[in-house]
Amino acid sequence: MLGNRVVRIAFEVLCIIFGSLLIGVGSNTLLLPAHLLSGGLMGICMIIYNTSGWSVGTQYFLYNIPLLVLAYIHLGKKFIIYTLLAVGFDSLFLHLIPIKMMWTHNIILASIFGGVVSFAGGAIMLRAGGSNGGLDVLGRVIAKYKNLSIARFGLIMNFIIISVSAVIFNVQSAMFTILSMYVGAKTYDTILTVAERSSVMIVTDKGNEVSGALNEAFNRGVTFWEGEGAYSHESKQVVFCVIVNIQWADLVDIVKGIDETAFISAIPAHKIVGNFKNVW
């Protein structure tokens, strides 16, 4: 069991490093040379780079320090460790990879593939349980306490970035930045299946502990009721909650950490009516 956990952690770390490499390649060889911007904090760093020449990698690392402190206070330990790793490799690759148009001089291709490559990197990181930091961290903290989804928060910030792009470059650059963000967002959603949610049912001997841990980890309502095994006639608790699919691995870790013998099943939740905060 320990061996499987080590292998999974090693795989997740490799995914984070690979995601960071994709972000560095997409940003420095496609977007920046074409005067295009990424979204979120990365886009802000690109704006400052284009106006001052200050390294995107250095900026990204420095700006993430207060955000990581915020994440440590409000979000999970695993998330902060993986995000710290992601920010470190993001900054390293952004600093080391030369800003040079390497694959194409066509701005349309640069905007499309720049968005695909860089956003795919971010999605791979998120699937591994981390994040490439930036405004995503701030958005998660806000979404945890306020009824504002991460997607909506990101949309507001990206609108500001696009507006600034039109001012410091030109309207055409802003239009191609929109194209890049749109294609990138579609790539991101495809990898993460962001909109998909699941109804999860857990049969356990430790319903109170499992319910409390899930509520604390995901900030979601959890329901449990008493049950009985049809074959063994042993008393069981049945725990029910709805999650976003990318939370599945964390949920399994939490439940198995409390009750190794717990039975967990999930089915797609296509329609939800009630107090469900869709923070993805």
Q: Give CA separation, 27 vs 102, 214, 247, 251, in Å.
A: 12, 37, 28, 33
Please report how the helices 135-145 and 40-52 are oriented relative to each other, as an axis angle in degrees rounded to 10.
140
Which residues, listed in sequence order, are joined to residue 264 by a DSSP beta bridge?
A: 202
Task: Report phi then psi at 194, rounded to 5.
Answer: -55, -40
State whether residue 199 is helix, strand or coil. Answer: strand
Sorted by sequence, the CB contacts under 8 Å of residue 185 that are 6+ apart come out as 115, 119
More confident residue, 13 or 132: 13
More confident: 189 or 96 = 96
Determine the Cα–Cα distance for residues 30 and 98; give it in Å rounded to an integer. Answer: 11
pLDDT of residue 214: 92
If pLDDT is split at 50, 70 and 90, which confidence band does 146 have? Answer: low
Q: Is the pLDDT of residue 216 over 60?
A: yes
| Residue 26: band (very low, low, confident or very high) from pLDDT cuts 50, 70, 90 | very high
Contact 62, 55 (CB under 8 A): no
- Cα torsion for 142, 143, 149, 154, to the nearest 10°? 40
DSSP 225-276: EEEE-TTT--EEEEEEEEEEGGGHHHHHHHHHHH-TT-EEEEEE-----SS-
Does pLDDT of 94 surpass 60? yes
Whether the predicted model's global pTM rises above the 0.75 cut? no
For 230-280, what is each residue's pLDDT tens digit? 888 888 999 999 988 778 888 999 999 999 999 999 998 877 777 666 554
Cα–Cα distance between 26 and 34 in angstroms, integer? Answer: 11
Domains delineated in the chain: 2-192 (no CATH), 197-268 (3.30.70.120)
Q: Is the pLDDT of residue 136 over 80?
A: no
Q: 149-194, pLDDT tens digit by residue? A: 666 777 788 888 889 888 888 899 899 999 999 998 888 878 876 5
| Residue closest to 257 by CA, chosen among 202, 220, 201 | 202
> Distance of alpha carbon 149 from its chain centroid, rounded?
13
Residues comprising the chain, all counted: 280
Tokens of 24: 């560095």
In the prediction, which pLDDT does 93 show? 94
The answer to whether residue 143 scores a pLDDT higher than 90 is no
Query: So what's the pLDDT on residue 218?
Result: 84
Q: How far apart are CA 197 and CA 200, in angstroms?
A: 10
